[in-house]
Amino acid sequence: MKRLHLTITAQAALAIGQRKPGGSVSEAMDYIPGSAIRGAIAAQILQAAQATAQISSTSADHNQTGDSFQALFLDQTAAVFQNAYPAIAKLEDDRYETRTNVHLLPTTALSSKTNSGFKPTKSGVFDSLIDGFCARAQGLSYEPNDLTGDRVEPFSGFYSQTKQQYCSHTVSKRLLTRVGINRRRATAQEEILYSIEVLDEVQGKRQPHPAVYHGSILIQDDELASQLQQFIDHRQQFRLGGATSRGLGKVEIAVKLEDLPDQTDVVKRRIDSFNEAMGDRWKHWSVFGAAAVNAIAEQTFFTVNLLSDAVLSENWQRTMVISEAMLRQFVGLDPSANNSLTLHTAYSSYDYRSGWNAAWGLPKDLELVTKMGGVYLFSTRHPEQWYEKLAELELLGVGDRTSEGFGQIRVCDEFHSVFRECAV
């Protein structure tokens, strides 16, 4: 499998909107969804194919283009267009810097209510998943606060880490007010005034920095991946999001083709590190002597973290929880089999997502999605059955519409090992 690493630099404001039920305002998202990247590249490929068909009448070229397009977007093993997240880290003194490794904070991350954020300028951020599980498994209540006794609340967003220093990744937005035009008179139309929320093309005021986003495209066919790389390199400039006919959405895409090695050993190391931290914290909570039995003995724990919104369904109904049967089905095991798999806790919430289908010229159906950042804690007595399957699941994703960036996951995120006394 090949990965096309995308570096998307905004040349104009981006109208990456999300309209919720009952709302009249299209709010801008904090990132570029994979569906927007997928639609923009597909539109450019179709335009290039139509232009080629008008110049050349040979059917061989047309059939080859159609076969490649179907393999890239329509086949069972279609390319996976992952979300592109903001790569601009906010430093001190209103300075910004481009980072390569962008991470998403899990829902279990907490920070002070009055001074939330990463150190050294803020009170710090820590994770509560392992401590919360150990406390409840020993029959204790868990109501965390920071080391100063202040109340804490969930802290979300994107971040990067360099030399043990964590930085938040944020994107500034603004409202653009527009007026409708009467097509017959070519003048302003009465009672048509609207606003569009957009992502700024630059970050910072004193030292403006172009807005940069990092994303990926996963392709199983090596030759097809090379063809797509050449196509993007040749085009470079694309239009993403809405209102592109009004000058918005212009971006420049740089692409780098990479091999994807087997990640089984990497996933295993993450799981081992997570269980080592789990064992240490269990001893830490055992000083209260509340547990009659060791709840983590002979168990191997792992988490499934949602790096993007997921479209999950079970028994033909939408759900926010990845159950044991669903996870077995995702990795290709018998959903009815036991396999010693147990779901201990789930942190998740829901939202709505829609969009625009450029091929049909119609809005997409409104989807109930599980929000990114969700965390599911599982355990098994036979971890050797899961290492390879979980590594493959990190590439393919979970749920429906994974080719559009939904359902991206990470197994045992390292941030779960950041505890209260060592907040970052």
Domain edges within the chain: 2-86+171-259, 264-422
- For residue 274, give the 3-state DSSP assignment: helix
Asked if the bond preceding 383 is cis, omega within 30° of 0, the reply is: no
Predicted pLDDT of residue 260: 84
Long-range CB pairs of 365-368, under 8 A, 24+ apart, other chains included: 366/21, 367/311, 367/401, 368/311, 368/318
* Other Cβ atoms within 10 Å of 43 Cβ, number: 15
Predicted pLDDT of residue 16: 86
Predicted pLDDT of residue 367: 83
What does the DSSP assignment read for 318-335?
E-S---HHHHHHHHTS-T
Each residue's pLDDT tens digit in the chain (424 positions)? 889 999 999 999 998 876 655 555 667 888 999 989 998 888 888 888 777 665 554 444 444 555 778 888 888 788 899 999 999 888 877 778 888 889 999 999 999 998 898 988 888 999 999 999 998 888 888 888 888 888 999 999 999 988 778 899 988 888 887 777 777 887 777 777 777 888 988 887 777 888 999 999 999 888 899 999 999 888 867 888 877 777 888 999 999 998 888 889 999 999 999 999 999 999 888 877 666 567 787 889 999 999 999 999 988 889 999 999 999 999 988 766 666 889 999 999 998 887 777 666 677 778 889 999 999 999 999 888 899 999 999 999 999 989 988 999 999 999 999 999 888 9
CB 14 within 8 A of CB 251: yes
Predicted pLDDT of residue 336: 66
pTM, full prediction: 0.88
C-alpha distances in angstroms, 186 versus 149, 181, 245?
63, 6, 16
Query: Which CATH number describes the domain made up of 2-86+171-259?
Result: 3.30.70
Predicted pLDDT of residue 338: 60
Query: Which CATH number describes the domain made up of 264-422?
Result: 2.60.40.4350
